[in-house]
Structure formats: structure tokens, C-alpha cells
């Protein structure tokens, strides 16, 4: 086996976004494109000599060839070991766990998360650091710098490594260890949750549907929910990972997991419905007739986490991304623990988790997790819910209603305007930024602006400053609107509009979320000039 050095010129636009480098699959399939990025990661971390890495992905189209390329580059850069999920599969939280348990120098996770997969869909690569979490901003900046000055990459000329069976093989000077993707993750879950109590719950007739959305959590959910916890066979549906996720969006929300939502709102609903995304880090929780927003889920989990053995001593703090509703802040306040508001993206939780300042973290985009790994974790959230349901012996709806009565309710909705031209999206955002100082006191569609700012975050651990993290507008009467541009899209710009209205008295009888938020929606549409800049006021997706 020989090491080849391939001379190349830099590719434009290899800047990692909210969650790694995400592009159209065909972009990644261009000669040298993936290799250039992977070599840049090695260059940014001071080379691969003597280092060990975890490698795996969500099984989407191009997962397997991409893994072979990464293995060849790792070996040629002097890495001594690669731990790879069998058949190239690893959920993002399981990869994070393997990095931590094996104390590797980091890991490559191949996924475009909840984006569709296939040759004409999306692909992505994330590099996670030795703490198991997404590369922090400083590292992604160094990676991006490296992509702009790269002159070539090193790769081992060798046959493909067999990833189909568990065991060890050699690739040049590197050991490739193929592992069962589920085993270590299941063992970790057993340390956190009362598996016996959950077994008794299922044995007592509790019913559930878990929609794996043809993505990576299928094997995990089958092994954990059905084989270990005794949920009925068939509880996990769409359980076989497919390269194009059955042609759908593997995104666990009421839009893309509509069949599950429909079931949960019907007379045939089981006690619990849940779903996860392409790479297994997101989750959706829905009770019989009761959808739980991710923001509320974080708050309810924070209020009840002590019922699970792994959290019986309480939480150090709760962190949420800025656009996430403030429901979890109310819980933290009552528990007398810290709450943190960070920019969008899991990487911003890493320092808080490493420093032991936060135990639970969550995002409105269906991400919830804890300090057990350094990624959000879909199945973990489902298991914590199951543990709480087993301990309280109440339905999801009852727990949620009691929560709103105790803490008040944060009505919440996100509106996404997709594939907007970059110029129009920028014009809308810069238009609001230029008027931020003048907004307080102005009235839009009958609502008065109280405050407005552009969110910046000073990391309390390393003191780094992250600016331009979204626009916040507060209205008289308890409403908040947030505007920001997506950092994960692969086509044009996506404008996200987040609406939130707090009601201390809890639910308003007879009004659904859309009705409650309508005045706020009208106000911000007018304020930002959606009709003028985007040419429409109706979003593509409402979650
Ligand atoms: C989106 C979500 C964000 C999440 C990220 C990765 O990022 O909004 O909460 O961390 O996907 O899953 P965005 O496209 O908004 O930048
Ligand atoms: Zn994901």
C-alpha cells in the first residue's frame, strides 16, 4: 500500500455551518471535494500522526464511499486507529459516546441530519472534537482557513475496507475497528434510566409507536425499545435505514412525521408517539391527542429529570438556544438552578456541559440532550420521557397540562421561508438591523415594540464572543419574535421566524397556538416587510 499525494486547488465555500459542512450530494461527489475538506480538518488539528478517530454516518447515499475516503486519508495522515460503526452506521449521539468512551482525538460524522438523502439531495460531514461535541467556533474557523489554502491531500491507495462485519483489520499503519453501533450506546442508556420500571410499564399494557423515518435510529430503537424494554414487536416503524430515507424528509416534526401525528390524534392512538431524524439526534414527542413542542419538552424534562436514576441528584443548570421558548427558564428559576441562553447550534452547549454548568440542553428544533454525550440525543429524550411516564403513572397530556398550570404556557411556533434568494433574505434582515434602535415604541398591526436587539453571546467559560446570532423583538403584552437566517440550508436562504407568547395563567381555553400567535405574526410580518422582500407572507413549513 502506498501513500499518494494528490495536488489540488482549494474549493470555494467549504465553510462549516451550524452543523458541519452540508452541501448537495453531487457537490460532495466531485473529484477531490470531500478529500479536500477532510485533509483540511487534519491540517487544522495539527495533523493525524498517532491519533485515533471515530467514523460513521446516518447511512444516506454516499455514506459508504465517503467513509472509505476518510479512512484512506486518516491512514495516510498517520492515524493509528479508526473506530467505525458496522456497515458505516453510527447515530450522531452514539458517535459522540464512542469518542468519549474510547478517548479518541475526535470523530467524523457523515450526515446532513434531517435533510433528505440521495444523489440529488443532501450530504454532510461534521468533525467532532475529543470531548465528543461539534467542533467549536475556533476550530471550524481554522478548518475553513485550511480549506482556502490547501494545496493537496494524502491518501492511501488501497482496497476498500470491509465494514460489514464486526472486527479488526489493518489499513496501512492504521487499525480499523468495526464495532456494533448500538451496544455501547445501549449500555450508556442503562446507566441513566430505570429500565426495570420502563419494562413494567410496557408489560402493563403501555403502547407506543416510534417512527425511525427510514433513518439511523431504526436499529437502535428496535434493540432498546423492543428487544430490551419489551415494547411490542412492531412498535418501531420505518426501522430499516435507507439511502434516501424512503424518499422523505427524516425530520421529526408534525409536518414530516405526519402519519405519526395523524395516528396520535386519532382514536387508535397509542400512549406515546415518538420519532427521530436522519442521524438520530432530534426527537419528537407526542402523547395521545397531545403534541409536545420541543421547547415545552425541554421544560417538562427539566422539571421531572430527577425521577430518572441518572439525574436523581438534580441538575446543575439548563441551557437553551436563544430562539427556543423561555419555558425551561421558568423551571430553572423554580428549581433555583442556572439557566443559559446560547446561539443556535449544539456546539454552543459544549463548554457549559464540559464545565458542569448545565446538565440538560435543548433547542426548539427538536433537539434535547444532556451531559451524557456532547450532542443532542433523540432516543435519550424518548427514554427520559418513558422513565418519567413510568414514574408518574400519568399520561403525556396530563403531565403537560399540569406543567402549564404550574409554570404558565409559552405558546410557540416557528415559520420557515425556504429557498429565498440570498439577496432578498439579506435585505430583509439588514433592513430590520438598520432600524433596531428606532423600533421601541413603534406600532405594527396594532402591537407595540418594547425592545429589539441583535443577539450576541459571550461564552461564560472561554469568554469568546459570537455576534450576529439573530434578531429579537419583544412586544408589549409578553410576545417575542426572533428572525434569523438558517445556517444549514443547501439552496438559497432560509428565513426562520420564531413566535412566542407567554401566558402566566396557562392554556387559554378554546384557542389553538396559531390563533394565540396570530397578532404577533401579523406585527412582525409588517415590521420586517415580508411581502416586500420575500414576496409572500406564508411560510413553507410551520412547526
Ligand atoms: C438548524 C436548527 C438548529 C440546529 C441545527 C442542526 O439550524 O435551527 O437548532 O442546531 O439545525 O440540527 P439552522 O438551519 O436554523 O441554522
Ligand atoms: Zn440531526
- pLDDT at res. 19: 80
Q: With pLDDT > 70 as the criterion, what percentage of the chain qualifies?
A: 100
Q: How far is CA 216 from CA 71, 242, 245, in A?
A: 21, 8, 9
Strand partners, 200: none
Q: How many whole angstroms from 114 Cα to the centroid of ligand 1?
A: 10
Distances 2 to 76, 155, 171, 450 between C-alpha atoms, Å: 9, 8, 11, 66
251: CA distance to ligand 2 center in Å? 8
Q: What is the pLDDT of residue 487?
A: 85
DSSP helix/strand/coil, 351: helix
> Ligand 1 center to residue 364 CA distance, Å?
9
The pLDDT assigned to 29 comes to 98
Domain over 409-542 is classified CATH 3.40.50.970: no
Considering every ligand atom, which ligand is closest to the CA of 275?
A: 2
Is the minimum distance from the CB of 344 to ligand 1 under 6 angstroms?
A: yes
User: What gap in Å lies between CA 306 and CA 315, rounded to an integer?
Assistant: 8
Pocket lining: 283 vs ligand 1, CB cutoff 6 Å: no
State pLDDT tens for residues 365-422.
999 999 999 999 999 999 999 999 999 999 999 999 999 999 999 999 999 999 999 9
pLDDT digits (tens, 9 = 90+) for 226-248: 999 999 999 999 999 999 999 99
Percent of the chain having pLDDT more than 90? 95
> What is the distance in A from the centroid of ligand 1 to the CA of 223?
28
Supply the DSSP string of 430-488, one letter for each residue.
HHHHHHGGG-TT-EETTEEEEEEEE--EE-TTT--EE----EEEEETTTEEEEEEE-SS
Ligand nearest to the CA of 213: 2
Tell me, in angstroms, the distance from the centre of ligand 1 to residue 486's CA: 7
Domain 2-181 fold is Alpha-D-Glucose-1,6-Bisphosphate; Chain A, domain 3 (3.40.120)
Alpha-carbon distance 153 to 8, whole Å?
8
Report the nearest-CA residue for atom 4 of ligand 1: 345
Tell me: the pLDDT tens digits for 503-521?
Answer: 999 998 889 999 999 999 9
State residue 137's pLDDT score. Answer: 84
382 touches 210 (CB < 8 A): yes
**For ligand 1, atom 1: residue with the closest CA:** 488
Fold of 185-407: Alpha-D-Glucose-1,6-Bisphosphate; Chain A, domain 3 (3.40.120)
Dist CA 38 CA 45 (whole Å): 11
- What CA dihedral angle connects 413, 416, 422 and 426, to 10 degrees? -20
- pLDDT one-digit tens code per residue, 131-153: 999 998 889 999 999 999 999 99
Binning pLDDT at 50, 70 and 90, where does residue 1 land? confident
Domain ranges in the chain are 2-181, 185-407, 409-542
Question: Which residues line ion ligand 2, judged by CB < 5 Å?
Answer: 113, 277, 279, 281-282
19 Cβ inside 6 Å of ligand 1: yes
Closest ligand 1 atom to 19 CA:
6
Q: How far apart are CA 150 and CA 83, in angstroms?
A: 27
The answer to whether the CB of 486 is under 6 A from ligand 1 is: yes
Which of these, 318, 252, 517, lies nearest to 410 by C-alpha position? 517
| pLDDT tens profile 169-209 | 999 999 999 999 999 999 999 999 999 999 999 999 999 99
pLDDT, tens digit, 9 for 90 and up, residues 155-168: 999 999 999 999 99
**pLDDT higher than 90, residue 298:** yes
Q: What is the pLDDT of residue 488?
A: 79
Angle, helix 378-392 to helix 92-101, in steps of 10 degrees: 90
Cα of 345 vs its chain's centroid, Å:
8
Asked if residue 488 has its Cβ within 6 Å of ligand 1, the reply is yes
Known catalytic residues are: 113
346 CB near ligand 1 (under 6 Å) = yes
Give residue 279 CA to ligand 2 midpoint distance, Å. Answer: 5
363: Cβ below 6 Å to ligand 1? Answer: yes
Query: Does the C-beta of 368 come closer than 6 Å to ligand 1?
Result: no
Q: Has residue 14 got a pLDDT over 80?
A: yes
Q: Do 514 and 413 contact (CB within 8 A), yes or no?
A: yes
* Amino acid 489: pLDDT: 74
Closest listed ligand to the CA of 365: 1
* 481 strand-pairing partners: 473, 499
- Nearest residue by C-alpha to atom 5 in ligand 1: 345
Q: Whose atoms come closest to the Cα of 96: which ligand?
A: 2
pLDDT digits (tens, 9 = 90+) for 463-507: 999 999 999 999 999 899 999 999 877 778 999 999 999 999 999
Matching fold, domains 185-407 and 409-542? no
Nearest Cα to Cα of residue 217 among 190, 191, 252: 252
DSSP of 95-106: HHHHHHHTT-S-
Residue 18 beta carbon below 6 angstroms from any ligand 1 atom: yes
Amino acid at each position: 500500500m502506498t501513500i499518494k499525494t494528490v495536488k489540488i486547488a482549494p474549493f470555494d465555500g467549504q465553510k462549516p455551518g451550524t452543523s458541519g459542512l452540508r452541501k448537495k450530494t453531487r457537490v460532495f461527489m466531485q473529484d477531490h471535494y470531500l478529500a479536500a475538506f477532510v485533509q483540511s480538518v487534519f491540517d487544522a488539528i495539527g495533523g493525524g500522526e498517532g491519533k485515533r478517530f471515530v467514523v460513521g454516518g446516518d447511512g444516506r447515499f454516499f455514506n459508504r464511499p465517503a467513509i472509505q475516503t476518510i479512512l484512506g486519508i486518516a491512514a495516510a495522515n498517520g492515524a493509528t486507529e479508526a473506530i467505525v460503526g458496522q456497515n458505516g452506521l453510527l447515530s450522531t449521539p452514539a458517535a459522540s459516546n464512542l469518542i468519549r468512551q474510547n478517548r479518541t482525538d475526535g470523530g467524523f460524522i457523515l450526515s446532513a441530519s434531517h435533510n433528505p438523502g440521495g444523489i440529488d439531495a443532501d450530504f454532510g460531514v461534521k468533525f467532532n472534537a475529543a470531548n465528543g461535541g461539534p467542533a467549536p467556533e475556533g476550530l471550524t474557523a481554522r478548518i475553513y482557513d485550511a480549506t482556502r489554502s490547501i494545496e493537496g491531500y494524502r491518501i492511501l491507495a488501497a482496497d476498500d475496507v470491509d465494514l460489514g462485519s464486526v472486527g479488526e483489520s489493518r489499513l496501512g499503519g492504521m487499525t480499523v475497528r468495526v464495532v456494533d453501533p448500538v451496544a455501547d450506546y445501549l449500555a450508556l442508556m442503562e446507566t441513566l434510566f430505570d429500565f426495570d420500571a420502563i419494562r413494567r410499564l410496557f408489560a402493563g399494557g403501555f403502547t407506543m409507536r416510534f417512527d425511525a423515518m427510514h433513518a439511523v435510529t431504526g436499529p437502535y430503537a428496535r434493540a432498546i425499545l423492543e428487544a430490551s424494554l419489551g415494547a411490542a414487536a412492531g412498535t418501531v416503524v420505518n426501522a430499516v435505514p435507507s439511502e434516501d430515507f424512503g424518499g422523505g424528509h427524516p425530520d421529526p416534526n408534525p409536518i414530516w412525521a405526519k402519519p405519526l401525528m395523524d395516528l396520535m390524534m386519532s382514536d387508535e392512538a397509542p400512549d406515546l408517539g415518538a420519532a427521530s431524524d436522519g442521524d438520530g439526534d432530534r426527537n419528537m414527542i407526542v402523547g395521545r391527542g397531545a403534541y409536545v413542542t420541543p421547547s415545552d419538552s425541554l421544560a417538562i424534562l427539566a422539571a421531572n429529570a430527577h425521577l430518572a436514576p441518572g439525574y436523581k441528584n438534580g441538575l446543575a443548570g439548563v441551557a437553551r438556544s436563544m430562539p427556543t421558548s423561555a419555558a425551561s427558564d421558568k423551571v430553572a428559576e423554580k428549581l433555583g438552578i442556572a439557566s443559559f441562553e446560547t446561539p443556535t447550534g449544539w456546539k454552543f452547549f459544549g463548554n457549559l456541559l464540559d464545565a458542569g454548568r448545565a446538565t440538560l440542553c435543548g433547542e426548539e428544533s427538536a433537539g434535547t440532550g444532556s451531559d451524557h454525550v456532547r450532542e443532542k440525543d433523540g432516543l435519550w429524550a424518548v427514554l427520559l420521557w418513558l422513565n418519567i411516564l413510568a414514574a408518574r403513572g400519568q399520561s403525556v397530556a396530563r403531565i403537560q397540562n399540569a406543567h402549564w398550570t404550574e409554570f404558565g404556557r409559552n405558546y410557540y411556533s416557528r415559520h420557515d421561508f425556504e429557498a429565498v434568494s440570498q439577496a432578498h433574505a439579506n435585505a430583509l434582515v439588514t433592513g430590520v438591523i438598520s432600524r433596531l434602535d428606532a423600533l421601541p415604541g413603534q406600532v405594527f398591526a396594532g402591537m407595540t415594540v418594547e425592545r429589539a436587539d441583535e443577539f450576541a453571546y459571550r461564552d461564560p467559560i472561554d469568554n469568546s464572543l459570537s455576534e450576529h446570532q439573530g434578531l429579537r423583538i419583544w412586544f408589549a403584552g409578553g410576545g417575542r419574535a426572533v428572525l434569523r437566517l438558517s445556517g444549514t440550508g443547501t439552496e438559497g436562504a432560509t428565513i426562520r421566524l420564531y413566535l412566542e407568547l407567554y401566558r402566566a395563567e396557562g392554556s387559554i381555553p378554546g384557542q389553538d397556538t396559531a390563533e394565540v400567535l396570530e397578532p404577533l405574526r401579523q406585527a412582525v410580518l409588517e415590521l420586517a416587510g415580508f411581502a416586500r422582500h420575500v414576496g409572500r407572507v406564508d411560510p413553507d413549513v410551520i412547526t
